[in-house]
Chain A
């Protein structure tokens, strides 16, 4: 598979007040292949969100380059659709209106827009809630709307910033299963941020373990667990073995 998204020796610093500049990401390089599911795994403050923001074009690298299909990302890039941890749904739009937003921006005709929105609302199992406002839905349902909204806009890459972190354990599992189902069916390229080893192992093809302060690539692991996958993979011995392997990598980070 050809590379779709890549970071070449990316460094990003932030100036905070009068103190010295903080290096959030240091010399980060990664190539994401088309159709691949990559997890960035790391503790909070390891620069994984900063990296995602650069892939989305929200911020620019201080050094190095971020490329989409070989071209530098220099502005907010609609081809890299973001699923935000805090949903970022438009409260004045119904579920239907939210899901149609990206299509409306692409000037898709109304009838086609409605048809495609209906498909993705069904995909995330929210039929019957089309006319509800986000505030009338639970957290898990709101996150489903966000997912449907970005899938309907059909970006080339999905960037997901700890999308399930705010959900309770059972809803999270449910959402992980949905995402597996959707991603395995669509083979959409996904860059997924998480601080959960389990989540990374359930979802990813490849896991990028990041070290903190400054954020660097500590290791990149192939996730050899078979596909199609189900959340019950957590119970397999292979899962436990991989988890132990990652844990030793992460442990040294946590200890220092």
Chain B
């Protein structure tokens, strides 16, 4: 509940407050750990233990990153990939969340949709790449379609499960307090399912990112996936690594933003996350 009282759960199940030293030293150790790793990497590559043909040195990567930042290519790649993820993700949420709610409360809808979901679920999003290229070309629509196709089913599952798990006692209590169907839906079922739906969306966001990157690796002129692929084609390993680091950081930032949004939308769950 309080920002400065962090609780660690030890293996024996005893909860105790982290000591002040623990709280302040932990970030320092993390930074030191990363620094040591980078230093070892730099040493290994400059002394020739690892050939730069297999792995460029951190210095080369930084130089490449500076170049890409200066030219604006890095930023535009991050932006274009993010746009594709956002469009596909939003579209999928717009379809899957309402559909999941309807399927959970009205069984014929579930019976109608279930067989298709079962058939489509085992297909990884990359298997859609040939068809979507045929239908949509290799432009933006195709990338958005791949994100959509790769994420909507997960959203559907999380929504369906969250709504089905709503405590029937709460619905009973609401009706006893005079709530009709409409109020039960908007005032009880949806808010009760919301935390589950949102954490499902958070999981799906990571999946959406892997979808866009695979689509960009196969066929794209722009985006972080394309950047990596160009690096490979040109034999420019530092470019490949800059792309990978950029993906990692971008997804981390997207996660952090999602976390913030979650906190605002479901304030009553705050205590659970500490």
Please give the residue numbers on chain A whose beta carbons come within 8 Å of chain B beta carbons, in ascending order.
56, 58, 76-78, 80-82, 84, 86, 88, 90-93, 101-102, 104-106, 133, 135-136, 149-150, 153
In the complex, how many angstroms separate the beta carbon of A166 from the nearest chain B beta carbon? 14
In the complex, how many angstroms separate the beta carbon of B40 from the nearest chain A beta carbon? 47
The 10 closest A-B pairs by CB, nearest first: A105-B178, A88-B173, A102-B177, A78-B178, A92-B191, A76-B175, A133-B268, A88-B169, A92-B268, A82-B176
Residues on the A chain within 8 Å of B194, using CB: 92
Decide if B179 is an interface residue (CB 8 Å cutoff): yes
Residues on the A chain within 8 Å of B167, using CB: 88
**Closest residue of chain B to A146, judged by CB?**
B173
> Beyond A90-B188, A90-B191, A92-B191, is A135–B268 a contact (Cβ under 8 Å)?
yes
Most-contacted residue by chain A among B1, B167, B268 (CB, 10 A)? B268
Please give the residue numbers on chain B whose beta carbons come within 8 Å of chain A beta carbons, in ascending order.
1, 167, 169-170, 172-180, 183, 187-188, 191-192, 194, 266-268, 271
In the assembled complex, the Cα of A106 lies from the Cα of B179 at a distance in Å of 8
Q: How many residue pairs at the A-B interface have CB separations less than 8 Å?
A: 65
In the assembled complex, the Cα of A78 lies from the Cα of B174 at a distance in Å of 9
In the assembled complex, the Cα of A193 lies from the Cα of B207 at a distance in Å of 51
In the complex, how many angstroms separate the beta carbon of A137 from the nearest chain B beta carbon? 11
Of the candidates A91, A105, A133, A136, which one forms a contact with B177 in the assembled complex, judged by CB atoms under 8 Å apart? A105
In the complex, how many angstroms separate the beta carbon of B176 from the nearest chain A beta carbon? 5
Whether the pair A153, B178 counts as a contact (CB closer than 8 A) is yes
A-B contact pairs, 5 of them (CB 8 A): A81-B176, A81-B177, A90-B188, A106-B178, A135-B268
Whether the pair A105, B183 counts as a contact (CB closer than 8 A) is yes
Whether the pair A153, B169 counts as a contact (CB closer than 8 A) is no
Whether the pair B268, A78 counts as a contact (CB closer than 8 A) is no
Most-contacted residue by chain B among A56, A76, A84 (CB, 10 A)? A76
**Closest residue of chain B to A90, judged by CB?**
B170
> Beyond A78-B178, A101-B174, A101-B177, is A86–B169 a contact (Cβ under 8 Å)?
yes
In the assembled complex, the Cα of A101 lies from the Cα of B186 at a distance in Å of 13
Whether the pair A92, B192 counts as a contact (CB closer than 8 A) is yes
> Beyond A102-B178, A153-B178, is A76–B172 a contact (Cβ under 8 Å)?
yes
Whether the pair A88, B175 counts as a contact (CB closer than 8 A) is no
Q: Told that A78-B177, A105-B177, A149-B177 touch, could you supply 9 new A-B pairs with CB distance under 8 A?
A: A81-B176, A84-B173, A88-B170, A88-B173, A91-B192, A101-B179, A135-B271, A136-B1, A153-B178
Residues on the A chain within 8 Å of B187, using CB: 90, 101, 104
In the assembled complex, the Cα of A133 lies from the Cα of B231 at a distance in Å of 53
Most-contacted residue by chain A among B170, B180, B192 (CB, 10 A)? B170
Residues on the B chain within 8 Å of A92, using CB: 191-192, 194, 266, 268
Residues on the B chain within 8 Å of A81, using CB: 176-177
**Closest residue of chain A to B191, judged by CB?**
A92
In the complex, how many angstroms separate the beta carbon of B76 from the nearest chain A beta carbon? 41
Whether the pair B178, A91 counts as a contact (CB closer than 8 A) is no
Of the candidates A78, A133, A135, which one forms a contact with B176 in the assembled complex, judged by CB atoms under 8 Å apart? A78
Most-contacted residue by chain B among A58, A78, A80, A105 (CB, 10 A)? A105
Residues on the A chain within 8 Å of B173, using CB: 82, 84, 88, 90
Residues on the A chain within 8 Å of B266, using CB: 92
